[in-house]
Structure 1
Amino acid sequence: MNAASTSSRPADTGHPAVELSGITKRFPGVVANHDIRLTVRRGTVHALCGENGAGKSTLMKILYGMQRPDEGTITLDGEQVALHTPADAIARGIGMVHQHFMLADNLTVLENIVLGAEKPHGIAGGARAKIKEISDAYGLNIRPDVLVEDLGVADRQRVEILKVLYRGAHTLILDEPTAVLVPQEVDALFDNLRELKSEGLTVIFISHKLGEVLSVADDITVIRRGTTVASVEPAGTTPKQLAELMVGTELPSPETRESTVTDVPMLRVDDLHLSATDSDGVVRTVLDGISFTIHKGEVLGVAGVEGNGQAELVEAIMGTRDPDHGTVTLDGTDLSHASTRKRREGGIGYIPEDRHRHGLLLNAPLWENRILGHVTERPNSKGKLLDLAGARKDTERIVEEYDVRTPGIEVTASSLSGGNQQKLIVGREMSHQPKLLIAAHPTRGVDVGAQAQIWEQIREARHEGLAVLLISADLDELIGLSDTLRVMYRGRLVADADPAVITPEELGSAMTGAAGGHLGTSHDDTSADHGERGGDQE
């Protein structure tokens, strides 16, 4: 089955699929887009690159009808149009998969997909058959009757992609589509994009992974500080050149090879077990005998395909889930039955996987977000009372120190770009000098400049003795930052990897269950190394 069987082939008008001319969009205190020009050829993958805050998301929201430009024109297939709502864009064959997904957790996959598009197929057999056809055609492996709240991030992304295809989109906007995929899955996605392209469909691909951009894109447009700065062809461009166009600096590296690992245990997790009941009422094992130790000055990286228990492990350590069995000890103190607040006060910093759902109050000003999770700690409080002046002053320090680009601390968190939201969270968590930092996908969806800043903050804190539990889908990040690497599969730690020699391809293979044991080194060498570091499964 090919793409033509799931989407009607768009008519070839001889015109570009999308032409944006002179697009300008202003918000209070900031010009998000200024005189942007973008031409996207029909039947191509067109990459849009730029640092966080460059105006990429605003531009795509304008194309998707979520926002209206103050100036400029939108032309689709040679016809100038006015897109007032996403419904207008959908009717014109434009679909968008957002970096932060637009799904209702309390509805099933099928209900989310057909929501707002019930007429063409109906919720019964027609819709189910159409969903299965598209899912099978593109290898999305979607189960229509599962509740979205039971899905991991990768599965949610696949649902969003299927939802767009279900509506018959001819032009797909994909915002950071590979952020949660292992290399093998990225290759499969790119094969799907090439097939879509061969059927005449058009893809606008937003990504900060410059190597991926160069491998899949037919054309690349770079925007910086709200305006177009270059249009380049992938064949004649390197990642270094692309990074310099985006942010004016070389492509950063997460490489950390000097050891700072001590023999002082900081976090000890012993025999952690957790069961959960899924949407069908079936009890399944989510965590199965997880044990590890992280020492002062050590970064323990956990690799795994989304949905294999990483999120539940973090929740068990943070105290938002009660495990069936096992203990969590921080710096010699048993926190197994402590509240989340006590764990925070005990020295745990937390960069959550989903900054919108668990890291920020989007409609609150930045200074209120500074307080979030640290309401009882200085400078946010004096005794039992909140210190609002202290919180405001420290927010200004974080904005300056962590380069959070904002008109001021009174604006809402929702007004910041994704990368600046992430820098605010990192600044907040690092400001309390934690003993342990749980960093879940700390650089997901941020540009190379913000990525480099976050990596440097982690490296500096590690040098000062911080213990870090790093969970990431960016395999280069895991390999580069970690002192010790573990692979998580179906709720168990199934393999050890040596960050000094493991390749992303080998690590990706282990994440899918294709390899186990000790990777990238001999069993004896790995055992000796882990015995010295104390990062062994117990």
Structure 2
Amino acid sequence: MTAPLIEMRGITKVFPGVVANDGVNLTVRAGEIHALLGENGAGKSTLMSILTGLYRPDGGEIYIDGQRVNFRSPRDAIAAGIGMVHQHFRLVAPFTVTENVALGLKGGFRLNLNRLAEEIAALSKEYGLQVDPQARIWQLSVGEQQRVEIIKLLYRHARVLILDEPTAVLTPQEARDLYRTLKKMAARGCAVIFITHKLQEVMDAADTITILRGGKTIATVKKSETNEKELARMMVGREILWQIDKLAARKGDKILEIKNLKAFNDKGLPALKGVNLTVHAGEILGIAGVAGNGQRELAEVIAGLRPFHEGTVIIAGEELDRCDPCRAINVGVSYIPEDRLGMGLVPNMGAVDNLLLKEYRHPRWGRTLLDRRAARRWAKELVERFQVKTAGLDAPVKLMSGGNLQRLLLAREISSRPRLLVAVYPARGLDIGATETIHRLLLEQRAAGTAVLLISEDLEELFRLADRIAVIYEGEIMGLMAVEEADVEEIGLMMAGAKRMEVGA
């Protein structure tokens, strides 16, 4: 057993009204891949922010190679060999790979970029991080951009590499490549810490696992001594139902029919390039793909929030010929956007007003003045039915957790009894318990005869819930298949644009 490279002892961090870390202990050794596991709000990100110098702890001690350290800023942590790859990359898109690596290095105008490019090429070859030093960031795939972030840290001789949700934006093949890279780094004496909520990822890549719950250390275990079920129980504090009752689909009439759909993104560039899709009542059609390949634009067109310049969108037999969210609502479309707090809900409004956003025109609330008492009774019933935890019906929803925000959003969208439910990354960033609830609600809608379009980056989620899976890449549907006939390898190739199959209805 090697001596610890990192020791965090009794780390405590308190924010107004919240104890984020409560005497947390973490020990990481050189040469190991260490997973940090826990629900939302468990304290994982706060702990890593302390280790990287972004926060200063209110209590506890940090040791590097047995020596106590006191980081006053991220600069101190970097100097100690600690680096972090954030979920949202810190790269300058117009700059080359070499220029991005050069940012922050000492030397100023005396930096020899040609020599730096050669060193980057050698480093990328040594660790299997294939990337062109002369390529500009905007020209690279998301997986390649992540490699640049890792190269930046390796070039600075980081001995501790922290990754936040590292596979959230990767294809299955890119995820496996990342695991190989991390194992090479560990074999060369680095310590790797990765934050994740994916239990399969932990079992695939980690050597050691530390579980946090409620800001406290629950356990540190070796992968060989545990399993997914046990990890889930320690994370949540109760047993998780892994098997979801998913009855055979009873497909009904066509609810959504899209033909040759073309639309632009916010920059005026083509985002959808002739998309054809059909979703039936009583089925879930999953859309697989790396984020940024037209998923958002597709959902917004269907919800009436984005214009399209060519093609046809038919919902329950009615054609949507213009950008009109009220018309989409009236024909039975419910929409769960990816940005639950920015687009789905109004942060400073309470639960009652957020639930009324689609219902306020209904005659039951009064024909002239809104019947607030009736609205509160209705909101209270929905909050209880969907088990939404809130400080009060009028408390700003921005104070709620991600899982409760998503439950509130689903309560509003499902209570309108939609014909078509468009759900975009509905479980993104949620813990296991909240994800379990969201999945159950989506399957209940399917059983009730609703057509569900489920857009997700999580293939495991799609295989669990969907009846058919379509793969989107750069605004085109690369393939569509029944879930029982789908193959992860094949889907991964289509997500990367390396394979296309004949697409039927």
Q: TM-score range by the shorter chain?
A: 0.7 to 0.9
Aligned to 2:317: 332
Aligned to 1:485: 469
SS at match of 2:218: strand
Q: More displaced, 366-375 or 192-201?
A: 366-375
Aligned residue type for 2:486: I
Match of 2:230 among 231, 241, 249: 241
Contact map agreement 2:172 2:492 (CA 8 A) in 1: yes
Aligned to 2:104: 117
SS at match of 2:464: helix
Aligned residue type for 1:443: A
Aligned to 1:457: 441
Report the aligned-residue RMSD.
Answer: 4.1
SS at match of 1:517: coil
Match of 1:274 among 260, 263, 267: 263
Listed as ranges, the matches of 1:70-469 within 5 Å are: 70-99=58-87, 101=88, 103=90, 113=100, 117=104, 119=106, 126=113, 129=117, 137-139=128-130, 145-146=136-137, 160-161=149-150, 164-165=153-154, 168-253=157-242, 255=244, 257-274=246-263, 285-344=270-329, 346-355=331-340, 358-359=343-344, 364=348, 367=351, 370=354, 374=358, 401-403=385-387, 418-469=402-453
Whole-angstrom distance in 1 between the partners of 2:93 and 2:356: 26
Contact map agreement 1:19 1:37 (CA 8 A) in 2: yes
Whole-angstrom distance in 2 between the partners of 1:50 and 1:303: 26
Contact map agreement 1:268 1:293 (CA 8 A) in 2: yes
Q: Deviation at 1:365?
A: 6.2
Whole-angstrom distance in 1 between the partners of 2:29 and 2:343: 39
Does residue 18 (structure 1) correspond to residue 6 (structure 2)? The answer is yes
Whole-angstrom distance in 2 between the partners of 1:65 and 1:307: 31
Aligned to 1:512: 496
CA deviation profile, 1:256-287 (whole Å, cap 9, x unmatched) = 64234342222221111235698xxxx97542
Contact map agreement 2:338 2:425 (CA 8 A) in 1: yes
Whole-angstrom distance in 1 between the partners of 2:497 and 2:161: 32
CA deviation profile, 1:184-236 (whole Å, cap 9, x unmatched) = 22111100111121222221111122122022111111122221111111012
SS at match of 2:4: coil
Aligned to 1:59: 47
Q: 1:194 to 1:366 in 2, by over 3 A?
A: farther
Whole-angstrom distance in 1 between the partners of 2:208 and 2:421: 39
Q: Deviation at 1:511?
A: 3.1
SS at match of 2:26: strand
Q: Deviation at 1:93?
A: 2.6
Contact map agreement 1:113 1:162 (CA 8 A) in 2: no
Q: Deviation at 1:123?
A: 11
Q: 1:366 to 1:344 in 2, by over 3 A?
A: same
Number of aligned residues = 500
Aligned residue type for 1:91: A
Aligned residue type for 1:330: I
Aligned residue type for 1:23: I
Q: 1:365 to 1:50 in 2, by over 3 A?
A: farther
Aligned residue type for 1:72: G
Whole-angstrom distance in 2 between the partners of 1:347 and 1:156: 40
Aligned residue type for 1:180: V
Q: 1:237 to 1:487 in 2, by over 3 A?
A: same
Whole-angstrom distance in 1 between the partners of 2:406 and 2:142: 17
Structure 1: any 5+ residue segments left out of the alignment?
1-13, 519-535
Match of 1:41 among 15, 29, 33: 29
CA deviation profile, 1:317-372 (whole Å, cap 9, x unmatched) = 2344433311222222322303345434554333333556655666x466499369
Aligned residue type for 2:272: L
Q: 1:510 to 1:402 in 2, by over 3 A?
A: same
Does residue 471 (structure 1) correspond to residue 455 (structure 2)? The answer is yes
SS at match of 1:17: strand
Q: Deviation at 1:243?
A: 1.2
CA deviation profile, 1:71-98 (whole Å, cap 9, x unmatched) = 2222223232233433333333322333
CA deviation profile, 1:107-141 (whole Å, cap 9, x unmatched) = 66769946972645669873983776666751357
Contact map agreement 2:9 2:60 (CA 8 A) in 1: yes
User: TM-score w.r.t. structure 2 length?
Assistant: 0.82
Contact map agreement 2:101 2:151 (CA 8 A) in 1: no
Contact map agreement 1:353 1:442 (CA 8 A) in 2: yes
Contact map agreement 2:244 2:440 (CA 8 A) in 1: no
Q: More displaced, 432-441 or 103-112?
A: 103-112
Q: More displaced, 429-438 or 122-131?
A: 122-131
Contact map agreement 2:52 2:74 (CA 8 A) in 1: yes
Q: Deviation at 1:498?
A: 1.9
Whole-angstrom distance in 2 between the partners of 1:377 and 1:419: 28
Q: Deviation at 1:432?
A: 4.0
Aligned residue type for 1:182: T
Aligned residue type for 1:220: I
Q: More displaced, 102-111 or 445-454?
A: 102-111
Q: More displaced, 29-38 or 210-219?
A: 29-38
Whole-angstrom distance in 1 between the partners of 2:477 and 2:226: 40
